[in-house]
Structure 1
Amino acid sequence: MPDYGRAVAFGHFPTPAADDPAALVRSAVLCDELGFDLIGIQDHPYQARFLDAWTLLSVLGARTSRVTLFPDVASLPLRPPAVLAKAAASLDLLTGGRVELGLGTGAFWDAIAAMGGPRRTPGDAVSALAEAIDVARQMWSGERSVRYSGDFYSLSGVHPGPVPAHPIGIWVGGYKPRMLRLVGSTADGWLPSLGFVDVPGIAEASKRIDDAAGEAGRAPSDIRRILNINGKSNRDALVDLCTSLAVEHGIDTFVLDSDGTEADLRALAEETIPAIRRAVAHERG
């Protein structure tokens, strides 16, 4: 698979546990100070142990100054896309253009249904996600009023807005062929997690995305590839893995796990991430 030549970026993937919210905020502030590029927050509203993702992202936006923030990924069945788009645009304006939108079809359907959300078939879930992307972009369009008629979502002359501070990227988390075609034809990025897909699976998925992009008249290099790497790895193994994924499979952004302590975050920022950047630069010549 090609190396799309994008500069590699690095994020942190903290667990949004509610038992010590002050520590969670401190770790995000430290990430901002240490130069991490992104912070991704998983969105499981039905999980009693977790803080609400958008409330947490808003607090982190107020406490940080440079790091990009995004839901990793937003649970679409529990977040109507027009309201989700308004929330993302609002936070983007409040943070000076530091928000992207990770979006997923939903998972844990029993829990979603228990919270009052719809229970969707796999096919319906993908169709609803495709409609949600259209709705979000209309809500960011700056038009005086917009209409949309879908099987799952509709807009009936709503006055959209506000317009985000920058063009918000929609990064889709998904693995099956239809989802990958949607990424290639429509989305701004692909946001998988290692463990749900392995390295050979990344290669196969990237080809599907690139093929769909070509059929839609898009350049595959325009689609970001953001990979969550959950679980701690030793430095050398992580350097080798990320370097290979960047130069052989086109992954440009790595969202890394840690224990959230200052020592661990500093080790990532001051040792592991610079080592990956050097290795990628060396491989690219």
Structure 2
Amino acid sequence: MGLQARPLFSFPANIPVGQDAARTELVRTAEASGFDLFSLQDHPYNAGLIEAYAGTAFLLGATTTIGGYVGVTNLPLRPAPMLARTAAALTAQSDGRFALGLGSGGFWQHIPRMGVRQLTPKQAVDAFEEAIEVVRGLTGGPAAAMDFTGKHYQVGHLAPATVPTPPIWTGAGGPRTLAITGRLTDGWIPQQGADWLTPAYRDGRARIDDAARAAGRDPADIITIFNFGGALTDRDLPSTRSDDGRWVGGSARQWVDALTSAVLEHGAGGFNTGITDASGALGTDLIRRFGAEVIAPVRASVA
């Protein structure tokens, strides 16, 4: 249904390098099963993961309707002006099936190994905010050429790409990045496992909404896409959550009830669901089953 579907259904396609045909088959199966998106992690210091932007480009080229995003872009490793050009190219070549996930960089024990200087937390957030401005300024043309002089990025009279700015979703977690999300972006992907019943979501969403209103925006224009995983079992589980409240999965009925409630009662706009079977495996049969037994009934329930 594309990036405009509500709720969006996504799945992480982080299949290890060397299993590339299997990754492509999973994404194509997801496309045929009602998923709207796939996501890839951006951790290029991990040799076991496919490079996120090359992988996203390949998978968008191997499909026709499913969208893709990097969840989320490791911004310190991707200079914002070049990232804007990459985002524009993916948007154009996929006919608008690309969303731009952005993060300020959360793995500083590894990031400098790629040859970039370490930033303080404040510097990383400053660069994050500048990057959003740069991406918006270099997409969505035709418009005047952009001149920008920031602490971290400089742009010297560059014309914007004449394609729409892709939706910008953030992996914000701290107070400043949450406020930036509310002022400047289109969506929020809470930290892994922080679903609609957690304080992390409630507190974070309140900060986003306050910042959006202060900027004259409608908070409803900022989608929340929950990033979590769980097993799709054959029978009901005694409890769908662990002792600490984390979602662990359940039967198709339990998934449908939970996701429908998340949409209707908690404002969920999408789900990036790391689904497995009871043994922890993911395959094409499970993708098909999730599409038929969970996605379709949830869509019908919230229509």
Question: As a proportion of its length, which structure holds more helix?
Answer: 1
Deviant stretches of 4+, over 4 Å: none
The share of aligned pairs that are identical, in percent, is 34
Q: 1:112 and 2:106 equivalent?
A: no
Deviates more, 1:112-121 or 1:241-250: 241-250
Relative to structure 1, is the Cα distance of residues 77 and 209 closer, same or farther in structure 2, using a 3 angstrom cutoff? same
Q: Amino acid of the residue matched to residue 115 of structure 1?
A: M
| Corresponding position of 1:3 | none
C-alpha displacement of 1:144? 5.0
Counterparts of residues 112-151 of structure 1 (less than 5 Å): 112-140=111-139, 141-143=141-143, 145-151=145-151
Q: Distance in 2 between matches of 1:206 and 1:250?
A: 10
Among candidates 265, 270, 274, match of residue 296 of structure 2: 274
Q: Give the alignment's TM-score, normalised by structure 2.
A: 0.85
Deviates more, 1:113-122 or 1:197-206: 197-206
Deviates more, 1:81-90 or 1:226-235: 226-235
Relative to structure 1, is the Cα distance of residues 113 and 196 closer, same or farther in structure 2, using a 3 angstrom cutoff? farther
Relative to structure 1, is the Cα distance of residues 9 and 18 closer, same or farther in structure 2, using a 3 angstrom cutoff? same
Q: Please list every run of 5 or more consecutive structure 1 residues that lacks an aligned counterpart in the other structure.
A: 1-5
Are the counterparts in 2 of residues 188 and 222 from structure 1 also a CA contact under 8 Å?
yes
Equivalenced residue count is 274
Instruction: Write the deviation string for residues 130-172 of structure 1: whole angstroms up to 9, x where unpaired.
Output: 00000111111333521101111110122332x22x4311101
Secondary structure at the residue paired with 1:109?
coil
Are the counterparts in 2 of residues 184 and 212 from structure 1 also a CA contact under 8 Å?
yes
Secondary structure at the residue paired with 1:100?
strand
Q: Distance in 1 between matches of 2:15 and 2:53?
A: 11
Counterparts of residues 48-59 of structure 1 (less than 5 Å): 48-59=47-58
Q: Amino acid of the residue matched to residue 38 of structure 1?
A: L
Counterparts of residues 113-262 of structure 1 (less than 5 Å): 113-140=112-139, 141-143=141-143, 145-161=145-161, 163-164=162-163, 166-196=164-194, 199-232=198-231, 233-234=249-250, 235-258=252-275, 259-262=281-284
Deviates more, 1:125-134 or 1:252-261: 252-261
Q: Distance in 2 between matches of 1:29 and 1:194?
A: 25
Q: Distance in 1 between matches of 2:230 and 2:53?
A: 24
C-alpha displacement of 1:188? 1.0
Q: Amino acid of the residue matched to residue 153 of structure 1?
A: Y
C-alpha displacement of 1:196? 4.9
Instruction: Write the deviation string for residues 230-258 of structure 1: whole angstroms up to 9, x where unpaired.
Output: 34322344333322322222111111113
Are the counterparts in 2 of residues 177 and 208 from structure 1 also a CA contact under 8 Å?
yes
Aligned-pair RMSD on alpha carbons? 1.8
Secondary structure at the residue paired with 1:143?
coil
Are the counterparts in 2 of residues 16 and 53 from structure 1 also a CA contact under 8 Å?
no
Deviates more, 1:255-264 or 1:271-280: 271-280
Counterparts of residues 68-107 of structure 1 (less than 5 Å): 68-107=67-106
Q: Please list every run of 5 or more consecutive structure 2 residues that lacks an aligned counterpart in the other structure.
A: 232-248, 276-280
